[in-house]
Structures are given as C-alpha cells and as structure tokens.
Structure 1
C-alpha cells in the first residue's frame, strides 16, 4: 500500500481526535445522567461515577484501539453501540434531544470512518 498523503494523514488524525472527544463526551453524558437521576447529592455522585466507570471499563476491555481483550470487529461495534447509544439516550433523558441527535449522528459518521481506516492498516 502506498504511503498516505499529508492531507490524508491530517484527516485521519482529526478523525481519531474526534473519536476520542466523542468517547469523553459519552462518559460525561453518562456521569451527568447518573448524577441527575440519583436525585440526592451523594447518591447521584455515586451513581454517576458507577455508570461512567462501567462504560469506561467496558470500553477499555473491548472497544479501545489497544483493548485489554481483543475481540472480533462485530463485538467491538456492539460495545461501541451500547456505550454511545446509552450516552445518546442519557442526553435525551436530560432533555437535550437535539444534542442527542447531533451526538448520535457524529458518532455514526466517525465510527464508520475510524472502522474503515483501521481496517486498511
């Protein structure tokens, strides 16, 4: 395979950066949802930490580029769908329906591009 051009490498780097930012946004959305749903300051803080922590552990174990347990692509995509889908639902549950739709759309496009480029490596 021929080496990628500078604009192509820049696009891939920007897409990887967007993937990371979407992952962080998903954890934040889940943490805020857990906090709000918990109702009480301590209960909400614990629930937010547990929900976001569970998603982070699941992601690191199976969906991260250097996952602890490498699994086939369909399993990786299933974990991504679970975490990102939960985050989109969390945003909608927080009354941020427009943001949830934008988030889900960005995740979909980004995941398709990341999956395509990583399959070519």
Structure 2
C-alpha cells in the first residue's frame, strides 16, 4: 500500500482568472488592431499576426509561471504595463475610447492587486 503525498494545488483566485482573461483579450485585441489598422494583404496580415505573437512571446519569456527569464516583481510589472498599455492605445486608435479606458482601468487594478500579493509573499 503506497501512501500518496498530498500535492499542493496552486491557489487560483478571482484576480488570477481576471488576469488570464485580460491576457487573452490583449492578444486578440492586438490581432484585431493589426488587421484593421493596416491595409491588407501584407502589412495588415504581418502586423495582425505579428503583434499578438510578439506579445505572447514577451509574456512567455518574462511573465508566465514557467518563464524563461526570471526577473523581479518590478521588471515583471514593467513588461505587463507595456503590453497592456499597448492594447489600450490600440483600442484608442481603433476609435473605441470606452473600450480602451475600461480595459486600462481593469488591467491597472488587477495589476496592482497582483503586485501587492507578490510583494506580500
């Protein structure tokens, strides 16, 4: 009879779910911005696919739980701020200031809550 050690499950709170949804919204938003802001086929396709891919790459390299580069909390916050600010500007450029402002406020509040929890650990 083998005794299984209890596995510690990662704690997933409401802000973690919100942050995941913000990430997905950011990646999709950058694709929409690229396709709608640049003429098709080539500039629009390149930017429409390239902008979200660059954001995903930055997220994977610096912000994901299994990131390639380990940076401190402030560096992680800076990368996140750059990505989310870019998304808010993209929505503003698309003529959707309400979406831009709501996204920026929600992302900022979520980021502040996440940062406080990271500093407390």
1:104 aligns with 2:104: yes
1:25 aligns with 2:33: no
What are the ranges of 5 or more consecutive residues in structure 1 without an aligned counterpart? 1-8
What are the ranges of 5 or more consecutive residues in structure 2 without an aligned counterpart? 1-10
Counterparts of 1:101 and 1:65, CA distance in 2 = 28
CA gap of 1:66–1:119, structure 2 versus 1, over 3 A, is: farther
Aligned length in residues:
111
Task: Compare the two structures and name the one with the higher helix fraction.
Answer: 1
Counterparts of 2:112 and 2:76, CA distance in 1 = 12
Counterparts of 2:18 and 2:60, CA distance in 1 = 17
For the pair shown, the structure with the greater C-alpha radius of gyration is 2
Q: CA RMSD in A?
A: 1.5
Superposition TM-score, scaled by structure 2 size:
0.84
